[in-house]
Copies of this chain bind each other. A is one copy, B any other.
Amino acid sequence: MDNCKVEVCLTPAIYDSFRNDEAIVVVVDVLRATSAICTAFMNGAKRIIPVATLEEAKDYKDRGYMVAAERDGIVRDFADFGNSPYNFTPERVRDQEIVYSTTNGTNTIMMAAHSHEVLIGAYLNHGALVDHIRKEKHDLLILCAGWKNKFNLEDTLFAGALAESVLEDENFYTVCDSTYAAIDLWSVAKDDMSSYVEKVAQRHRLRKNGLDDVLEYCHTFDLTKKIPYLEGSYLLTDS
Interface of A toward B, CB cutoff 8 Å: 10-11, 13-14, 17, 147-153, 156, 175-178, 180-181, 184-185, 187-188, 199-201, 204
Is the pair A180, B151 in contact by a Cβ cutoff of 8 Å?
no
Is the pair B187, A175 in contact by a Cβ cutoff of 8 Å?
no
| Chain B residues closer than 8 Å to A199, beta-carbon distance | 180
7 closest residue pairs by CB, A with B: A153-B177, A151-B178, A13-B14, A184-B188, A152-B177, A177-B201, A17-B150
Is the pair B176, A201 in contact by a Cβ cutoff of 8 Å?
yes
Known: A11-B14, A14-B11. A177 touches B204 (CB 8 A): no
Closest chain-B Cβ to A205's Cβ sits at a distance in Å of 10
Q: Which of B17, B184, B201 contacts A185 (CB 8 A)?
A: B184
Is the pair B175, A185 in contact by a Cβ cutoff of 8 Å?
no
Provide the bound-state CA to CA distance between A5 and B76, in Å. 34
Known: A17-B150, A148-B17, A150-B17. A181 touches B176 (CB 8 A): no
| Chain B residues closer than 8 Å to A188, beta-carbon distance | 184, 187-188
Is the pair B181, A181 in contact by a Cβ cutoff of 8 Å?
yes
Provide the bound-state CA to CA distance between A227 and B110, in Å. 45
